[in-house]
Amino acid sequence: MSELIAGATEQMTSWPPFWSYAVLGLSAFLENVIPPVPGDTVVVFGAYLVGRGALDWQPVYAATSVGGTAGFMVMWYLGLTKGR
């Protein structure tokens, strides 16, 4: 299991930071649109990367907040226009 975490950490830290933030935001978005997507797990992994100093906390917070809110608003809009 630790090899899996180490591999994921190495992969995410090798990308330019923009792509790491984009993946975190997309994960938060998809969590609301497609419920089985494990968005919280990816967000916690992003927090782990912040703790290690690989990412800044402000863009991680912004990306996950905007992604989660956008996903919620898409589902709200679909409910508003399409009904139950």
pLDDT digits (tens, 9 = 90+) for 32-65: 999 888 888 889 999 999 999 999 999 999 999 9
Query: How many domains, the chain?
Result: 1
pTM of the model: 0.84
Q: Are 12 and 53 in contact (CB under 8 A)?
A: no
Smallest CA-to-CA distance from 51 within 11, 19, 9 is with: 9
Range of the domain at 29: 2-82
| Token code pair at residue 69 | 């809110």
